[in-house]
Structure formats: structure tokens, C-alpha cells
A = this chain, B = another copy of it.
Amino acid sequence: MPLDSTSSLTPNRLLKLWHDALLESVRRDTPDLSARQMSVLLAVYVVPPPHTVRGLSSSMNVSKPAITRALDKLCALDFLRRKPDETDRRSIVVQRTVKGSVFLSDFGDSIAESLKHLDD
């Protein structure tokens, strides 16, 4: 029997999954990112490149300065990297880093763990 046929992921159970995984990340000493910051980070790792400030801004429906600030923090954490766009030097390209990959990979594992113990 496949692991995911954890009875059926109803909205209520998904809410519990969200709670468990979120609680784990709040408890841990991991850098606590706002919803926006986390959303930016995930976008870069989950959505195919390239990623620019204006692209993230429009897809998230958030002002450009807010994206710039989120990038400031995520770059300071070394979770993302800004790289000048050679073809259009007004733009920058947001890239992944090893540290960011590890952070999100751990987070993904944490969600999977929460899913595994959803009935405990």
C-alpha cells in the first residue's frame, strides 16, 4: 500500500499537515521567513527560471520594493544570489545557492515527515 494513500487528504487533514509542518519550522532555530520571503524563495526553486524582480513582483502581486527587500534578506542568508543579466543590464537574474537548496530540501523532508505521522 502506497504511503500517500494516507486515507484521503481532505482539506481538514491538509490543514493539520500544514499545522504540523509549520509548527516544526517555528520550533526550530531555522531563520524565520515571512510568508512573502518564503514565497519568493520557493518560487525560485520550484518554478523554472529565469527569475527577475519584475517577474516575481507580478506573479506574486506584490510591489517591486517588497521583492527587492525580500531578496536582500534571502541573499544575506545566502539562500539566493543576484546575478546581473548580460543581455539586459537593467535586469538581474535571481539564482539558487547550495545553502538555499539544503534549506528547502530539509523543509521538504520535514513536510514529508509530518505527512507520515499525520495520524499520530
Given contacts A39-B19, A39-B22, is CB(A14)–CB(B60) below 8 Å? Answer: no
Q: How far is the CA of A25 from the CA of B21 in the complex (A)?
A: 17
Q: What residues of B have a CB within 8 angstroms of the CB of A8 in the complex?
A: 2-4
Chain A: interface residue total (CB-CB under 8 A): 45
A93 within 8 Å of B by Cβ? no
Chain A 22-66, CB-CB to B under 8 Å as 1, else 0, gives 110111000011111011001101110000000000011110000
Contact with A35, one of B34, B45, B59, B60 (Cβ below 8 angstroms) = B34
A15 within 8 Å of B by Cβ? yes
A94 within 8 Å of B by Cβ? no
Output the nearest chain B residue to A9 by Cβ-Cβ distance: B4
6 closest Cβ pairs, A-B complex: A11-B108, A19-B42, A15-B108, A14-B111, A19-B46, A11-B112
Interface residues, chain A, CB within 8 Å of chain B?
2-6, 8-12, 14-16, 18-19, 21-23, 25-27, 32-36, 38-39, 42-43, 45-47, 59-62, 104-105, 107-109, 111-112, 115
* Beyond A4-B5, A15-B42, A35-B35, 14 additional pairs, beta carbon < 8 A: A2-B8, A5-B5, A9-B115, A11-B105, A11-B108, A14-B108, A15-B45, A18-B21, A18-B107, A19-B46, A19-B47, A23-B60, A26-B36, A34-B34
